[in-house]
Amino acid sequence: MKNLLLIFLIPALFAGCNKEVDDVSLAYPVLQPTKTDANAGTWKTMLLTTPDQIAVSAPAAATGPDYTAQINEIKSLQAKLNDDGRNQVNYWGAGAVLRWNEITRELIAKYNLPPVNNPDGTYPAPDANNPLSYPYFPFANPPYAARAYAYVSAACYDALVACYHYKKLYNRSAPYVVNTTVNPLLPKTDLPSYPSEDATVAGVMWEMMKLLFPGEQAAIQAKINEHLQARIAAGMNVRSDIDAGYALGRAVANLFVARARTDRAGTAGGSMVIQKQFEDAAIARGEMPWISQENPKRPGMLMLFGRVKTWNFDSAQLLSIRPPAPPATGSEQFKKELEEVYNYAKNPTRDQIRIAQYWADGVGTYTPPGHWNAIASDEFVKLGLSEVRWARNLALLNTAMEDAAVSCWDAKYLYFNPRPYQMDTRIKTVVGLPNFPSYTSGHSTFSGSASTVLGYLVKNKAASFEAMALEASISRLYGAIHYRSDCEAGIACGQRVGGFAVTRAQNDGAGD
């Protein structure tokens, strides 16, 4: 009997093991900017013509019964603040732009699922007007994701430039400065508190998420309430700071919503008739056209995304950076490259599988642009950026990556090049096979643009970003879903795309 007990004791020892996982995002420290960027109201915006294009009225004087009531709101929240409340203060204290970027990433991952086919072999299209019935809207695939990150970031940036303009103009001090009996729970700042930068971001998100994730209204509203209450509970803002910021954010976001409704993304899905035109054009050039390898055959992903409006260059410049034609499918070069893919596919090493999976960012993930946002965020957290600089950096990164998606999708459907598996079914893959033409590699284009922008923004890490981009690019060859030409042309085009964002950065008045 003694022995029996012993047998059960051994596993019991391990029962006490802590299974909790350390989450990088939850460990981010509260934001303490190294500089306030108080003059950011002068920075060049993306869509706003002037920083005061949206009017924000002057705050009432920080005296009298109304202001006292607002101070008392802080005090009453602090009086009943429990551990949850304190955690929320610190969570949001890591940065509004950061946290809402993460929330966007999370929603992308949740919605990045291709719809199941209908019984007749066709595929249903998600409907923005009916987002909660299957297939859920949106299918947040990489181009959709790139565009979502771009709009969220660019709108946050413009709104915060306007916000900082009014902060300087009205110069209302933070509640804990006006009333020294208020105890701030986050690091103090010299930045004027009206309008609230956090509420400005929240206002932007409310409008942008209506457009991008219309089925998530209730969840977004709950997050916004939590965020804004946390700012008041932290003693960082009074209610009127919040209200003014929130209204400003919504109004600026609506300019971006108006752009989004006319940026041609709404028709980027195309149709089988349009797909046939791409196919016929490839055949007319004497090329083997791309064919969906899914069963049943799924229409190519967002076949007209190459016509979506870009951010950092115009349609003529898009043509100027268009990748040259890939090796003809009948050429020796093509055969050589196909053979190379086959050799990687035949016996991938564990390290090649690791690299392929590290960068795969496929179905059910935040996509390659999301991965680059995560990489960027880890760096920006270390730099202690002001909210407006956070927004500016992410706007540069994400507009570049949407531009990369447009450039890449333009090439993909123009050249309509077959995937390796289509040309040789022995080429089995260790990552998902994307349902769109091969040339150029989307991962490579995204990564080339992202590493170029990040290398400009964080200069001492430029070499490391470039190495990451090259690894992301070659991971698609290891995964056996791309030829070497796809990867190399993608990186080159992406770097040029990123160059346009760098030019913007050099001229936006933000400096380093």
Partner 1 sequence: MNHTLKIILKKSALRWFFIVMGTLGYNAGITQSDQDALMMKKNEFCTGLMYQQSTWDQYWEGTLKRENLNIGTMKTQMVGYMAMYGITNKLNAFVSLPWVKTSSTAGQWKGQQGIQDVSAWLKYWAIDKKGAKGRFGLFGLAGVSLPVSDYTIDMLPYSIGLGTTNFNARIMADYQRGKWFATGSMTYVLRSNVELDRTAYYTTGIHYTNEIKMPDATQWMVRAGYRYKNWIAEVVADNWTTQGGHDITRNNMPFVSNRMEATRLGANFKWEDGMVKGLSLLAGGNYALEGRNMGQATTVYGGIVYLFNFSKKSSSNTNSPASK
What letter represents residue 275's amino acid?
Answer: Q
* Burial (Cβ within 10 Å: 0-12, 13-18, ≥19) of residue 302: buried
Would you count residue 374 as binding partner 1 (CB under 8 A)? yes
Comparing CB distances to partner 1, the nearer of 152 and 163 is 152
Residue 160 near residue 200 (C-beta atoms within 8 A): yes
Would you count residue 20 as binding partner 1 (CB under 8 A)? yes
How far apart, in whole angstroms, are the C-alpha atoms of residue 226 and residue 249?
17
How far apart, in whole angstroms, are the C-alpha atoms of residue 71 and residue 78?
11
Comparing CB distances to partner 1, the nearer of 221 and 315 is 221
Alpha-carbon torsion (213, 219, 222, 223), positive or negative: negative
Least distance to partner 1 from the beta carbon of 408, Å?
21
Give the per-residue contact string, 471-490, with partner 1 (x = CB under 8 A; - = no). ---------x----------
Alpha-carbon torsion (420, 422, 428, 433), positive or negative: positive
Backbone dihedral angles phi then psi of residue 219, each to the nearest 5 degrees: -65, -40
- Name which of residues 200 to 259 contact partner 1 (CB under 8 A): none
Give the end-to-end CA distance of the chain in Å, rounded to a whole number: 72
Instruction: Select the residue interacting with partner 1 from 366, 409, 446, 456 (CB under 8 A).
Output: 366
How many residues at the interface with partner 1, by CB under 8 A?
A: 59
Instruction: Select the residue interacting with partner 1 from 37, 102, 198, 216 (CB under 8 A).
Output: 102
Concatenated DSSP letters of 442-495 = HHHHHHHHHHHHHHHHSGGGHHHHHHHHHHHHHHHHHTTSS-HHHHHHHHHHHH
Cα radius of gyration rounded to whole Å, the chain: 25
Least distance to partner 1 from the beta carbon of 158, Å?
27
- Residue found by looking up tokens 């040259």 in the block: 324
Comparing CB distances to partner 1, the nearer of 370 and 455 is 370
Least distance to partner 1 from the beta carbon of 373, Å?
10
Give the per-residue contact string, 290-319, with partner 1 (x = CB under 8 A; - = no). ---xxxx-----------------------
Instruction: Select the residue interacting with partner 1 from 24, 132, 258, 383 (CB under 8 A).
Output: 24
Least distance to partner 1 from the beta carbon of 3, Å?
5
Would you count residue 90 as binding partner 1 (CB under 8 A)? no
Comparing CB distances to partner 1, the nearer of 16 and 286 is 16
- Name which of residues 392 to 421 contact partner 1 (CB under 8 A): 421
Least distance to partner 1 from the beta carbon of 106, Å?
4
Least distance to partner 1 from the beta carbon of 67, Å?
39
Instruction: Select the residue interacting with partner 1 from 165, 167, 371, 476 (CB under 8 A).
Output: 371
Least distance to partner 1 from the beta carbon of 150, Å?
20
Comparing CB distances to partner 1, the nearer of 27 and 61 is 27
What letter represents residue 208's amino acid?
Answer: M
- Name which of residues 328 to 357 contact partner 1 (CB under 8 A): 345, 348, 350, 353-354, 357
How far apart, in whole angstroms, are the C-alpha atoms of residue 326 and residue 428?
22
User: How distant is the alpha carbon of residue 58 from its chain centre?
Assistant: 34
Give, in order, the Cα–Cα distances in Å from 233 to each of 81, 112, 177, 478.
8, 35, 15, 50
Residue 308 near residue 406 (C-beta atoms within 8 A): yes
Comparing CB distances to partner 1, the nearer of 240 and 451 is 451
Least distance to partner 1 from the beta carbon of 426, Å?
10
Helix or strand or coil: residue 149?
helix
Nearest to 457 by CA among 372, 378, 402, 397: 397
- Name which of residues 114 to 143 contact partner 1 (CB under 8 A): 114-116, 134, 136
Cis link prior to 296 (omega < 30° from 0)? yes
Residue 158 near residue 394 (C-beta atoms within 8 A): no
- Of 1-9, 230-238, 283-291, 392-400, the window that binds partner 1 (rule: CB under 8 A) is 1-9
- Residue found by looking up tokens 């890591």 in the block: 94
Instruction: Select the residue interacting with partner 1 from 133, 283, 331, 358 (CB under 8 A).
Output: 358
Task: Return the ∠ at Cα 392 (arms to 96 and 51), rounded to 5°.
Answer: 95
- Name which of residues 136 to 195 contact partner 1 (CB under 8 A): 136
Comparing CB distances to partner 1, the nearer of 392 and 419 is 419
- Residues of this chain that interact with partner 1 (CB under 8 A) are 1, 3-4, 7-8, 10-12, 14-15, 17, 19-26, 102, 105-106, 109-110, 113-116, 134, 136, 293-296, 345, 348, 350, 353-354, 357-358, 360-366, 371, 374, 421, 425, 427-430, 432-433, 480
